[in-house]
Amino acid sequence: MKRELGIARCGLACCLCSENETCKGCIEEDCADKINCENRKCVINKHLHACYECEEPCRKGLLQKIKPYGFTLFIKRYGLEKLLDCLMRNEQNGIVYHRQGIVGDYDEFENVEDLITFILKGKKE
């Protein structure tokens, strides 16, 4: 885990991404997808750092997917440091963010509350 890379504006975990060798994340000005990313544009227009700082309920862009939406809700409820702590603990316990391509253990959920519980407990119920 590269904790210093943190969480992307949309909620994805840059700190665990298998692409983080070359990608510096969407926080950087040289973001490869800065022209197309709806979430990046939105938070910049609202003068926010990330979607988890926004008070509006939203499922735009990548927030249509369970993982980034769940990570964003987790941060709103428990804070950024708690998410990073849980992700680090989970990684140390064998939970994989990207197992095959960009799909991993956090992608196996259809319900956001089940994902949040998984993040907190580090195991499936």
- State which residues form the domain around 57: 3-121
Least confident of 25-34, 54-63, 68-77: 25-34
| 114 SS3 class | helix
Domain count along the chain: 1
Rounded Cα distance, 61 and 36, in Å: 10
Rounded Cα distance, 73 and 23, in Å: 24
pLDDT tier for residue 76 given thresholds of 50, 70 and 90: very high
* Cβ–Cβ under 8 Å, residues 68 and 12: yes
Rounded to two decimals, the pTM is: 0.89
Rounded Cα distance, 119 and 76, in Å: 14
* Cβ–Cβ under 8 Å, residues 9 and 43: yes
Percent of the chain residues topping a pLDDT of 90:
54
- Residues whose CB falls within 8 Å of the CB of residue 26, separated by 6 or more in sequence, listed in order: 8, 9, 10, 14, 33, 34, 37, 39, 40
pLDDT tier for residue 125 given thresholds of 50, 70 and 90: low
pLDDT tier for residue 6 given thresholds of 50, 70 and 90: confident
One-letter amino acid identity for 19?
A: E
* Residue length of the chain: 125
Rounded Cα distance, 52 and 58, in Å: 10
